[in-house]
Amino acid sequence: METIYVNPMKILIIGNGGREHALAWKISQSTKCSQIFVAPGNAGTQLDKNLTNINLTHLDAWLAFALKEQIDLTIVGPEAPLAEGVVDAFQAAGLKIFGPTKAATQLESSKIFAKHFMRRHHIPTATFAEFDNKIAAHEYVNQQNAPIVIKADKLAGGKGVIVAQNINDAHEAIENLLEPDSSILIEEFIEGEEASFIVLSDGKNILPLATSKDHKRLLDEDKGPNTGGMGAYSPAAIVTPEVHARIMREIINPTISGMDKENIPFTGFLYAGVMIDKKGNPKTLEFNCRLGDPETQPLLVRLKSDLLELIESAIDKTLHQAETVWDRRPAVGVVLASKGYPNQPETGFQITQLPDLEEGVQIFHAGTTCQNGQILTSGGRVLCVTAIGDTLKLARQRAYEVAEKISFSGKQMRHDIALKSNSNKIS
Ligand code: AMP
Ligand code: GLY
């Protein structure tokens, strides 16, 4: 029998990407919520009758809205508002909000903070050096071997990292990434296969989500520039039970307990980007203080548990009593992006042929807007077609069948999302 809650909750979700559409879609299935606002949302959240877009894009406006509307819980999708201190501001106003504080968000907003933190807590990661002056950075690179990785010490939407294949490219990357009054990191290149490892934490307790894997490069076969992510799937076969246990023991547990010991407890979604070498040794590439985009899309179509209850449990610090139930079937998300993404996306084109969907297939919107009854592209990543299937291969086929049908001028997509996973061999 379905439980009817006496005081259903009013929820505010901050963000406008595919991750936030998926979050809003999943939260709307909870019997505990009455109304969901998305600020500012996109065409997908606007067209969903269970959701209400509000055209507010700044912290002060979100805060005023949440106070006026007596929002019971705010959930923050992207990193920028977290790094700006949205959680601190809402908490100071006595409002319930889910996400890390500004101080805890440094794990993502400052790669140098994250590197020193990992060093202090013996968390495996690539060796590094940091520079705020170009001459020293160029001299350092001359003494290193390629490939070598250059990273800006700021939020850059996944675009502040250059994996230089030779030393000339490394010099060029220094010129491009080191701005006045900023710093860069120069990192050892580590080889292996990447996975996204995302957990929920209440500051002390940890609840891992299912594993997933992103495809960061723009083009097939991992060619072209890094992007925010061109597609993802869950689960990630590379994360075997042994590797899972090691990531928890060597990376996640020391991070959550280290943050707690340093008096900056981490409450929220913690995402470790990990590189796993041939022997199954995991190393941390980066931390994100939020759910991944597009990893969230396949993850949430697989999550059977009530996400709102899990988030409440994290806020109430009772995550040790919570558990997650996942659909055992894999899911695949394929991103459709605008021409020019990731550098200069061309937008404003009509999206046509959004097909009727079968059970287990979702089109999550990202850079879309409604105008005069039409859906137009409005950002770099436009849609993420996400499908579940009995095998990864079938999930892939179902997602691509729909992704191929959707049309807009300049549409870009990869054709090899989830193609090389080891789990294809068993499916
Ligand atoms: P990050 O934002 O730090 O995760 O970097 C973006 C992407 O660059 C990662 O997903 C990796 O594909 C790649 N990358 C970052 N750091 C390294 C590294 N030290 N070695 C090899 N690849 C890296
Ligand atoms: N998909 C990578 C990220 O969310 O940072």
342 phi and psi, to 5 degrees? Answer: -90, -5
Q: What is the pLDDT of residue 420?
A: 83
pLDDT band at 181 (very low <50, low <70, confident <90, very high): confident
Measured by CA distance, the residue closest to atom 1 of ligand 1 is 286
Measured by CA distance, the residue closest to atom 4 of ligand 2 is 292
CA distances from residue 77 to 16, 146, 411 in whole angstroms, order as listed: 8, 36, 25
Q: What is the mean pLDDT of residues 207-211?
A: 98
Can you read off the two tokens belonging to residue 391?
A: 């095998």
- In 255-321 the beta strands, taken as DSSP E runs, fall at 267-276, 282-288
Q: What is the pLDDT of residue 1?
A: 54
The model's pLDDT over 87-114, given as tens digits with 9 standing for 90+, comes to: 999 999 999 999 999 999 999 999 999 9
288 Cβ inside 6 Å of ligand 2: yes
The model's pLDDT over 216-254, given as tens digits with 9 standing for 90+, comes to: 999 999 999 889 999 999 999 999 999 999 999 999 999
Q: What is the pLDDT of residue 4?
A: 59
Please name which ligand lies nearest the alpha carbon of 287: 1
Residue 239 Cα to ligand 2 midpoint, Å, equals 18
* CB atoms near residue 423 (< 10 Å): 16
Task: Report whether 178 contacts 361 (CB < 8 A).
Answer: no
CA distances from residue 260 to 107, 201, 235, 263, 319 in whole angstroms, order as listed: 13, 11, 29, 5, 15
| Helix, strand, coil percentages, rounded to 5, for the chain | 30, 30, 40
Residue 284 Cα to ligand 1 midpoint, Å, equals 9
Please name which ligand lies nearest the alpha carbon of 217: 1
Higher pLDDT, 2 or 264: 264
| pTM recorded for the entire structure | 0.94
pLDDT band at 164 (very low <50, low <70, confident <90, very high): very high
The model's pLDDT over 336-363, given as tens digits with 9 standing for 90+, comes to: 999 999 999 999 999 997 877 889 999 9
Q: What is the pLDDT of residue 356?
A: 79
Residue 293 Cα to ligand 2 midpoint, Å, equals 5
77 Cβ inside 6 Å of ligand 2: no
Higher pLDDT, 357 or 126: 126
